[in-house]
């Protein structure tokens, strides 16, 4: 017999995705999270220091992300994902004072490489030929083993873009994960590679419509409810302890564990999970960007990696930020503000600011850590895993998190008990 009910532990995007698919399949679902709000790392909140509602980080998706499109369609999300009509990526190197815009053509053939004004300045068509080697990367290989890590194409294109995608030093990143991202974006053309940012907030674009949809379908999210222990017997989970003692898991009840990897391994030490992580540092400044500022600006020769221009603020993202995550917040704010002024070409006093640090933002997307990512199915026939740290085939992304929830839900729906 199939499982009729499901308990989803964790209300980040992976857990919400799993819960939505389970409810859609007619299962009775309960979903709980230890935090005070749903969303996990993709959360929004009102910051009194800024007087603004901000996201904890500047998460973006691509127009070609299919799981994002499926999820938003199901939950009836109406808040637009903002972004340009064409895949144009602006860069500024504050070290050598050069600026350029990478302009991908809409179709799948990489015609932009043939046009001098569309590619990285100072590069030729021949400089891009080695990029095809990335598509054949093996699970054990790094990006650095597949392509040259010197030259303008590397420094002014691959390094900053892959750093953002992998949140890992790009030369040490997984060639396989990189190839999978390229196949789903660049190889499908500029239309699939269009960057999309949640405006006004992640909560409005993803979390709020999901929790409202679940509540309307009889599966409200219970917040402030932390799973303390999991009891197992042979090949099934038998009880969950939420702090008041073990509660039996019924025979027709499936469990989807959608928590961070360190929480999952603490609950179930038998699990093998990624155990190396990288930080992300974000900064927000209560200042309207200057007229004409691109929505996204990649920076080189700076501490900041990307600037995001919102109507009411300028935001900064630094990926793989392990070397700065412990620096004084005021020091970081001053440094970022100096770089913002130089990048945008204006001078202004330091406005109200906020620094948001995520020390374990994502798993390290190296071949070694990718090999530690578990599949959604486990040795316990009524327990399934979800999270961007599971084997999604992608780095830790919103798309990967949503896919993991779909996979866990599908397994739970198709599994048998008894």
Helix and strand element counts for the chain (H, E)? 11, 20
Q: Are 367 and 176 in contact (CB under 8 A)?
A: yes
Q: What are phi and psi of 69, to 5 degrees?
A: -65, -40
Cβ atoms 150, 117 nearer than 8 A: no
Cα 79 from Cα 174, distance rounded (Å) = 34
Cα–Cα distance between 282 and 315 in angstroms, integer? Answer: 7
Rounded to 5°, angle at Cα 162 from 184 and 170: 130
- Condensed to tens digits (0 to 9), the pLDDT of residues 99-130 reads 999 999 999 999 999 999 999 999 999 999 98
Task: Collapse the DSSP code of 278 into the 3-class scheme (helix H, G, I; strand E, B; otherwise coil) and give the result.
Answer: strand
Sheet-wide strand order for 28-33: 221-223, 28-33, 5-9, 253-257, 383-385
Tell which residue, 416, 412, 369, 413, has the closest CA to residue 391: 369
For the chain, what's the residue count?
418
pTM value surpassing 0.95: yes
pLDDT tens, residue by residue, 152-202? 999 999 999 999 999 999 999 999 999 999 999 999 999 999 999 988 899
What φ, ψ does residue 225 adopt, rounded to 5°?
Answer: -120, 105
Give 59-82 as a DSSP string.
-EEETT-HHHHHHHHHHT--S-EE
Q: Which of 34-43, 50-59, 152-161, 386-395 has the lowest mean pLDDT?
A: 50-59
d(CA 411, CA 381): 10
User: pLDDT for 245-294, tens place per residue?
Assistant: 999 999 999 999 999 999 999 999 999 999 999 999 999 999 999 999 99
Question: What is 205-235 written as a DSSP string?
Answer: IIIHHHHHHHHHTT-PEEES----EEEEETT
């Amino acid at each position: 017999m199939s499982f009729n009910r499901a308990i989803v532990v964790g209300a980040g995007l992976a857990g919400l995705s799993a819960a939505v698919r389970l409810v859609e399949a007619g299962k009775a679902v309960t979903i709980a999270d230890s935090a005070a709000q749903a969303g996990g790392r993709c959360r929004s909140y009102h910051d009194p220091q800024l007087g603004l509602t901000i996201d904890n980080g500047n998460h973006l998706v691509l127009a070609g992300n299919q799981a994002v499109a499926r999820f938003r369609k199901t939950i009836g999300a109406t808040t637009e994902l903002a972004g340009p009509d064409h895949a144009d990526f602006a860069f500024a190197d504050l070290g050598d004072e050069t600026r350029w815009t990478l302009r991908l053509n809409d179709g799948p053939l990489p015609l932009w490489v043939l046009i001098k004004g569309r590619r990285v300045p100072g590069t030729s068509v021949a400089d891009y030929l080695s990029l095809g080697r990335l598509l054949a990367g093996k699970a054990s290989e790094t990006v650095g083993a597949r392509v040259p890590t010197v030259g303008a194409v590397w420094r002014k294109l691959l390094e900053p873009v892959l750093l953002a995608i992998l949140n890992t030093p790009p030369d040490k990143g997984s060639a396989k994960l990189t190839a999978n991202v390229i196949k789903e974006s660049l190889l499908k053309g500029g239309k699939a590679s269009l960057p999309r940012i949640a405006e006004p907030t992640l909560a409005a674009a993803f979390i709020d419509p999901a929790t409202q949809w679940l509540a309307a379908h009889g599966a409200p999210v219970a917040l402030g409810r932390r799973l303390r222990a999991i009891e197992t017997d042979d090949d099934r989970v038998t009880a969950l302890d939420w702090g008041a003692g073990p509660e039996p898991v019924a025979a027709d009840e499936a469990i989807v564990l959608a928590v961070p990897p360190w929480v999952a391994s603490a609950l179930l030490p038998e699990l093998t999970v990624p155990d190396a992580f990288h930080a992300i540092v974000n900064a927000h400044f209560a200042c309207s960007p200057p007229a004409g500022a691109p929505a996204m600006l990649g920076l080189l020769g700076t501490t900041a990696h990307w600037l995001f221009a919102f109507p009411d603020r300028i935001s900064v993202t630094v990926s793989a930020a392990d070397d700065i995550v412990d620096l004084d917040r005021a020091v970081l704010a001053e440094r970022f503000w100096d770089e913002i002024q130089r990048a945008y070409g204006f001078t202004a006093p330091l406005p109200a600011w906020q620094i948001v640090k995520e020390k374990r933002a994502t798993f390290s997307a190296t071949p070694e850590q990718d090999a530690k990512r578990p599949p959604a199915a486990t040795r316990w026939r009524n327990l399934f895993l979800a999270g961007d740290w599971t084997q999604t085939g992608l780095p830790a992304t919103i798309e990967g998190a949503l896919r993991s929830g779909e996979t866990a839900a599908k397994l739970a729906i198709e599994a048998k008990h008894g």
